[in-house]
């Protein structure tokens, strides 16, 4: 699992390939509960392993259900035949809405003393409509915090099943699903009547299909009434295969549409139970080329090149609709998503969070209580502080798509573990990133000259990373901050107002190309570069140089840290004597006085400091070509780097 504070995604040139999807969260949590309640043992294949399903598994184990991992990733659940053996438990359900809602219903109708709680956000997510419905059946449920919200206390009660239960379905479909899943525990015929509109109806279809798989057929009477027949009881179908997650598929399908494709997801298709497969239709409406088989879907770029902005009622695809908002960054006009009020009560207020984060990328975003309109910017901008994910897995996955236009930093990427812990690994497998030639080496080895010429020959961008450390040293000096004041210099680095335009290097608008080459600043650069906080503050700034069609970057840690995935890595060096002579010539040409023995001495000291420091020391990385230029001309060195880079292009 990725536990770092952020992940930096390089700009993508294209995306294509195949992705095998993880199991569906909605199906997995329903199957776990049904298998637990059923008569008999169930072997479950391709069950999703994620935070939400882990919460469900843990809760069921606490309730006395035996769940055993088998070889090959399958699980065996020993059903309890409708009655949980443990009658008193304190269950923590994290932020797993599906687990919380369905267990509330099953425990309230099952009888026993239970406490159900979750993370702070779970306690802000409503559950009142479900509690009201369960109380109609005699359930004893108390709110332990605010009325209408978890945490809950459930007490044993005389359940009066039968008759009609009314339930609202306009805040979350999980209330109706939870109630339906629990009603067979009563054994009595009960009718459920919906009050008002039902949102996210396809999720109720998953519930009904899974109940049928476990032997209970709910009778539908029109769209608003469901009857659970008398004598219903869950029986294990023995083996259940969980299909791939259709919401997880949406990110890759959108990636195929904006990244050329073809990108194919395996595990969901025409035969899927999940409503979110209809995301494929929405993408096709935006112009993407979409094809579908029984258990796969493939997406590619529109014939015309660009996606079209659309206006869409997203009631049936609430989760995947978020992906449309991200894909909308690449459309030729505004995209309006309507009927998405449920976004407000999910892992975070998704309308608010999407608005904030899309704006950081330069998009114009308008939003109301239940709608969102995204107008793409002419040019995407990448926020230096990164995209915040608001503890919402879907935000993290959605914003990875922005990398098709710009390098992007995603904060707290580990939140994808809620449903798809391997997301960024799968993403990297299908994404073709902007290529990098990383040239590292000691001071005055000539790597700057070679790197700039290689970049010019290829028509690629060029990053002189040493100049960024030099600018930081100069800016610190000007602000009166000592070069060893780590926090002070790191702040200067984070706020560095630097521009690189052609050959010109500017600090706060002032040309400083020569000023940063003075020996005093060279020494300062070497000092500030040894401070880990400073290096951290400058990391993403350097990565932002990696833009299409390619980047040649020179420095000390280009291959080891900043661009560790660089396709071509070169360690360029020369003897100290030759380097001192080169630096001498450079300085004299600029009218700066110099002396060779002093320069040699200085280079030796700097080499030592650069190679012995604790953070990102200068050294040849494993995959790097060694280029000793002591006896080579610049042209010869450039030709060699071009040859090496051609081998991987």
Closest approach of ligand DC to the CB of residue 119, in Å: 40
Nearer to ligand DC (CB atom), residue 309 or residue 446 = 446
Nearer to ligand DC (CB atom), residue 280 or residue 475 = 475
Q: CA dist 514 to 447, 473, 482, 483, 500, Å?
A: 18, 14, 21, 20, 13
Closest approach of ligand DC to the CB of residue 593, in Å: 19
Asked if residue 546 binds ligand DC (CB under 6 A), the reply is no
> Which window, 50-58, 95-103, 550-558, 595-603, contacts ligand DC (CB under 6 A)?
550-558
**Pairwise CA distance, residues 540 & 521, whole Å:** 23
Per DSSP, which regions of 125-257 are E strands? 140-143, 152-155, 163-168, 190-195, 219-221, 225-228, 239-241
Q: Rule CB under 6 A: which of 289-348 touch ligand DC?
A: none
Asked if residue 543 binds ligand DC (CB under 6 A), the reply is no
Total residues interacting with ligand DC, rule: CB under 6 A? 13
Asked if residue 466 binds ligand DC (CB under 6 A), the reply is yes
Per DSSP, which regions of 443-588 are E strands? 461-464, 498-501, 504-507, 510-511, 551-555, 568-573
Sign of the Cα torsion 29, 34, 37, 43 reads negative
Q: Which of 469, 545, 571, 644 binds ligand DC (CB under 6 A)?
A: 469
Q: Which of 276, 412, 602, 610 binds ligand DC (CB under 6 A)?
A: 610
Instruction: Tell me, yes or no, if 319 is annotated catalytic.
Output: yes
**Pairwise CA distance, residues 518 & 196, whole Å:** 74
Q: Determine contact, residues 624/440, Cβ cutoff 8 Å.
A: yes
Closest approach of ligand DC to the CB of residue 617, in Å: 9
Which 8-state DSSP code applies to residue 435?
Answer: P
> Which window, 179-187, 307-315, 544-552, 555-563, contacts ligand DC (CB under 6 A)?
555-563
Q: How many residues does the chain have?
A: 649
Q: Rule CB under 6 A: which of 587-606 touch ligand DC?
A: 606
Closest approach of ligand DC to the CB of residue 647, in Å: 24
> Which window, 63-71, 157-165, 216-224, 523-531, contacts ligand DC (CB under 6 A)?
523-531
Nearer to ligand DC (CB atom), residue 585 or residue 646 = 585
> Which window, 272-280, 397-405, 479-487, 549-557, contacts ligand DC (CB under 6 A)?
549-557
Closest approach of ligand DC to the CB of residue 476, in Å: 13
**Pairwise CA distance, residues 415 & 422, whole Å:** 11
Closest approach of ligand DC to the CB of residue 610, in Å: 5
Residue 534 CA, distance from chain mean position: 26
Closest approach of ligand DC to the CB of residue 405, in Å: 26
**Pairwise CA distance, residues 207 & 182, whole Å:** 11
Q: Which of 24, 200, 250, 465 binds ligand DC (CB under 6 A)?
A: 465
Asked if residue 443 binds ligand DC (CB under 6 A), the reply is yes
Sign of the Cα torsion 343, 411, 429, 288 reads positive
Q: Residue 567: phi, psi to the nearest 5?
A: -70, -35
Question: How many other C-beta atoms lie within 10 A of the C-beta of residue 85?
Answer: 10
Closest approach of ligand DC to the CB of residue 556, in Å: 4
Instruction: Order across the sheet with 41-45: list the strands.
Output: 66-69, 75-78, 41-45, 239-241
**Pairwise CA distance, residues 111 & 158, whole Å:** 8
**Pairwise CA distance, residues 39 & 300, whole Å:** 46
Asked if residue 117 binds ligand DC (CB under 6 A), the reply is no
Nearer to ligand DC (CB atom), residue 235 or residue 582 = 582
Asked if residue 557 binds ligand DC (CB under 6 A), the reply is yes
**Pairwise CA distance, residues 308 & 34, whole Å:** 42
Catalytic hit among 8, 51, 245, 319:
319
Nearer to ligand DC (CB atom), residue 118 or residue 555 = 555
> Which window, 62-70, 463-471, 492-500, 591-599, contacts ligand DC (CB under 6 A)?
463-471
Q: Determine contact, residues 151/121, Cβ cutoff 8 Å.
A: no
Angle at which helices 246-258 and 393-400 cross, to 10°: 20
Asked if residue 555 binds ligand DC (CB under 6 A), the reply is yes
Asked if residue 529 binds ligand DC (CB under 6 A), the reply is yes
Write out the residues near ligand DC by the rule CB under 6 A.
Answer: 443, 465-466, 469-470, 525-526, 529, 555-557, 606, 610
| Positions marked catalytic | 319
């Amino acid at each position: 699992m990725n536990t770092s504070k952020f992940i930096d995604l390089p700009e993508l040139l294209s995306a294509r390939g195949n992705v095998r999807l993880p199991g569906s969260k909605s199906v997995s949590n329903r199957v776990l509960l049904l298998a637990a309640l059923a008569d008999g043992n169930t072997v479950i294949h391709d069950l999703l392993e994620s935070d939400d399903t882990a919460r469900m598994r843990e809760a069921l184990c606490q309730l006395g259900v035996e769940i055993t991992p088998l070889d090959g990733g399958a699980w065996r659940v020993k059903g309890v035949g409708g009655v949980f053996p443990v009658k008193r438990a304190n269950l923590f359900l994290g932020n797993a809405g599906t687990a919380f809602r369905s267990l509330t219903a099953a425990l309230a109708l099952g009888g026993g003393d239970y406490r159900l709680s979750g993370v702070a956000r779970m306690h802000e997510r409503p559950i009142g409509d479900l509690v009201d419905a369960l109380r109609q059946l005699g359930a004893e449920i108390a709110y332990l915090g605010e009325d209408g919200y978890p945490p809950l206390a459930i007490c044993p009660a005389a359940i009066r099943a039968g008759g009609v239960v009314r339930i609202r379905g306009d805040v979350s479909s999980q209330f109706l699903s939870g109630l339906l899943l629990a009603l067979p525990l009563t054994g009595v015929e009960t009718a459920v009547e919906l009050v008002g509109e039902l949102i996210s109806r396809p999720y109720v279809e998953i519930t009904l299909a899974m109940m049928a798989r476990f032997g209970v057929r709910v009778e539908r009477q029109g769209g608003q009434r469901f009857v659970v027949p008398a004598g219903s009881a869950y029986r294990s179908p023995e083996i259940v295969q969980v299909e791939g997650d259709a919401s997880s598929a949406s990110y890759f399908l959108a990636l195929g549409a904006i990244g050329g494709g073809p990108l194919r997801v395996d595990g969901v298709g025409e035969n899927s139970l999940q409503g979110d497969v209809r995301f494929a239709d929405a993408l096709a409406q935006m112009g993407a080329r979409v094809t579908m088989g029984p258990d796969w879907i493939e997406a590619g770029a529109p014939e015309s090149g660009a996606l079209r902005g659309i206006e869409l009622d997203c009631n049936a695809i609430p989760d995947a609709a978020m992906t449309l908002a991200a894909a909308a960054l690449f459309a030729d006009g505004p995209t309006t998503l309507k009927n998405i009020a449920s976004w407000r009560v999910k892992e975070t207020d998704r309308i608010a969070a999407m608005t904030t984060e899309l704006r950081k990328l330069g998009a114009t975003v308008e939003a109301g209580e239940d709608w969102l309109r995204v107008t793409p910017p002419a040019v995407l901008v990448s926020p230096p502080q990164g995209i915040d994910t608001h503890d919402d897995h879907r935000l993290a996955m959605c914003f990875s798509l922005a990398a098709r236009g710009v390098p992007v930093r995603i904060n707290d990427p580990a939140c994808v573990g809620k449903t798809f812990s391997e997301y960024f690994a799968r993403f990297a497998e299908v994404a073709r990133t902007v290529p990098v030639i990383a040239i590292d080496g000691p001071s005055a080895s000539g790597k700057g000259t070679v790197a700039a010429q290689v970049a010019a020959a290829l028509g690629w961008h060029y990053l002189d990373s040493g100049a960024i450390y030099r600018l930081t040293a100069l800016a610190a000096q000007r602000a009166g901050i000592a070069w060893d004041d780590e926090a002070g210099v790191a702040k200067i680095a984070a706020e560095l107002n630097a521009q690189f335009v052609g050959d010109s290097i500017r600090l706060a608008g002032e040309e400083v190309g020569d000023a940063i080459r003075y020996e005093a600043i060279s020494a300062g650069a070497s000092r500030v570069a040894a401070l880990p906080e400073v290096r951290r503050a400058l990391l993403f700034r350097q990565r932002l140089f990696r833009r299409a069609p390619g980047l040649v970057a020179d420095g000390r840690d280009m291959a080891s840290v900043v661009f560790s995935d660089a396709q071509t890595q070169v360690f360029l060096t020369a003897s100290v004597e030759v380097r001192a002579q080169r630096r001498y010539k450079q300085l004299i040409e600029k009218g700066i006085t110099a002396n060779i023995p002093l320069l040699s001495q200085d280079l030796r000291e700097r080499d030592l400091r650069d190679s012995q420091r604790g953070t990102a020391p200068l050294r040849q990385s494993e995959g790097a070509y060694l280029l000793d230029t002591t006896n080579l001309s610049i042209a010869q060195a450039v030709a060699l780097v071009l040859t090496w880079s051609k081998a991987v292009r």
